[in-house]
Structure 1
């Protein structure tokens, strides 16, 4: 399967995440909900890696691998805590699109830190995402 298939699947599951989380957060603390989510994800991924035959000893990873995986985990954790809190306080139909402001930030960070060079049409699409986020953020 191509990267596009995986990216579209990610979008579908991210959308379901917002809906399921919004309902699941009713009457409970968003931080506890985030912790439960993380534990379930860890268990499912461990089973997936094990049964798909992809297990390798993580102690063989380089220090660079570990550094950036830890940084990624910290960023993911912070994102989840903020996302669940926003879902608890706001409407899923507004929170999720604003969360996608990350699309713009990823593009900028990819240029600055990874040396990527998106084409003009890519920047046009990224700008449209930004315009959508601004429309959602404007108070009525």
Structure 2
């Protein structure tokens, strides 16, 4: 995985996390219940954590395997974005239940990414 791809992906996810976080704190605060807002914030937080990890990996790209990159990237998309979809669809009273099983798959990919990172260092 090239340094440019890693850092670009990190920047996109970081940018979106800031935008979604601000959107949640201001616009959605009036629409979402406290529980829904808390779930939305979990998605934003995990997205930002992993954007930062991708950024750090970008500065060490020679030691980063493509598998780590893909686990984190797909994990963010499945975990955080399914949470956004679940929260928003619930708020609109049209809950997309199909997204429910996607969230833990994303979380599993994030965990696998961390495990691969550990193995890569060892």
Question: Would the TM-score normalized by the shorter structure come out above 0.5?
Answer: no
The structure having more radius of gyration, on CA atoms, is 1
TM-score of the superposition, structure 2-length normalised?
0.39
